[in-house]
Amino acid sequence: MTVPNTPPDPLRAAAGTDADATAPGPAAGRDPYAPPPVDQAVLRAADRRAPLERLLPELKVGAVTVLACLALGLLMAVLWAWLAPKVPLVVDGNKILYGDPEGEQRAGADSVFVLIGLGMGIVTALGAFLFTRRRGGGIAVATGLAVGGLLASVGAWGLGRRLGPASDLVAEARRVGNGGHFDADIDLGAYGALLAWPMAAMVVLLALSAAFGKREEDPPPYWAGPYDPQRPVAGPPGAAGPLPGGPFHPGPAGEHPGDRTPQDQPPQGRPPQGRTP
């Protein structure tokens, strides 16, 4: 008979004389309480799918944000072609002259484009924040706003030029004739105006996320325990009510602060008995 918890003898098991080794049961050398084996191929396939499963929702959010910006870019092009000041021209014989040589219509077109871009950036950032606040925003929202705002600005610039006055000045001069007036096409003199939309969107999204974004709960401090100096603790039998928790004094080694009661606390002003100050 083998003493309990004695490992089987490999020599006796090989000779077939160890009854415990040959008895039916769990395989030798294997923990009977261990979890069942898992197919490693399944684990590797799951590990390969995990990054893709996390990436697809982010790509969807980013793509929707870009498409929304492009749709608003069409509105921006219409507004710019309508609100941008026009440069008046006049035909004088075989020459085309400015109707207002000291006018600031060219700079005004750039200013209107920047103002519209700032407004679109604020609107898109506010909408993206409200629609993605529950999920906590994410890098996909910021990237979608930046890329979508830039693409929408470029598209609004190109479409606005087509919606505005014709760019063929010679054909327009021949159409109106000598002494006639017409407007020049609108264009951007400062290409930095294309960055107004994405920059405004980034600033507004950052401000909204910092002020009203989803917060993660802070972990408790490492010194936090069940003992709370402000929490009332039960008093001795017959007491009128709970006693307030007093200041903590270190106890013997291995004693948890929450296990001490106010009766165990040494009085203020003198050290605990059996100890040196």
* 114-147 tens-digit pLDDT: 999 999 999 999 999 998 888 777 889 999 999 9
Residue 10 has what pLDDT?
Answer: 55
Strand order in the sheet with 88-92: 95-98, 88-92, 181-183
CA-nearest of 4, 2, 25 to 12 is 2
Extended beta strands in 27-133, E state = 88-92, 95-98
Closest C-alpha to 135, from 58, 55, 218, 205: 58
Instruction: Write out the two tokens for 38.
Output: 């898992």
Q: Is 95 exposed, middle or buried (0-12, 13-18, 19+ CB in 10 A)?
A: exposed
Whole-number pLDDT of residue 192: 93
The pLDDT value given to residue 171: 85
Q: How deeply is 55 buried, as exposed, middle or buried, from its count of CB atoms within 10 A (0-12, 13-18, 19+)?
A: exposed
Tell me what the pLDDT averaged over the chain comes to.
75
Residue 119 near residue 83, CB atoms below 8 Å:
no
| pLDDT for the residue numbered 249 | 46
What pLDDT sits at residue 120? Answer: 96
Determine contact, residues 137/209, Cβ cutoff 8 Å.
yes
The model's pLDDT over 69-94, given as tens digits with 9 standing for 90+, comes to 999 999 999 999 999 998 888 988 88
How far is 62 from 58, CA to CA, in rounded Å?
6
Give the orientation angle of helix 139-163 with respect to helix 105-132, to 10 degrees.
150
- pLDDT of 228 strictly over 80: no
Is the separation of the CB atoms in 183 and 87 below 8 Å? yes
Q: What is the pLDDT of residues 184-217, one digit of tens each?
A: 889 998 999 999 999 999 999 999 988 887 776 6
Span 243-253, pLDDT tens digits = 444 444 444 54
> Could you tell me which residue, 116 or 269, shows the higher pLDDT?
116
CA-to-CA dists, residue 225 to 111, 222, 233, 259, angstroms: 60, 8, 15, 11
pLDDT of residue 43: 62
100 vs 6, higher pLDDT = 100
What's the pTM value of the predicted model, to 2 decimals? 0.61
Contact 126, 204 (CB under 8 A): yes
Tokens of 17: 């004389």
* Burial (Cβ within 10 Å: 0-12, 13-18, ≥19) of residue 154: middle
Q: Where are the domains of the chain?
A: 57-212
In the chain, what is the straight-line distance between the N-terminal and C-terminal CA atoms, in Å? 62
Is residue 59 over pLDDT 80? yes
Q: Phi first, then psi: give them for residue 256, nearest 5 degrees.
A: -85, 140
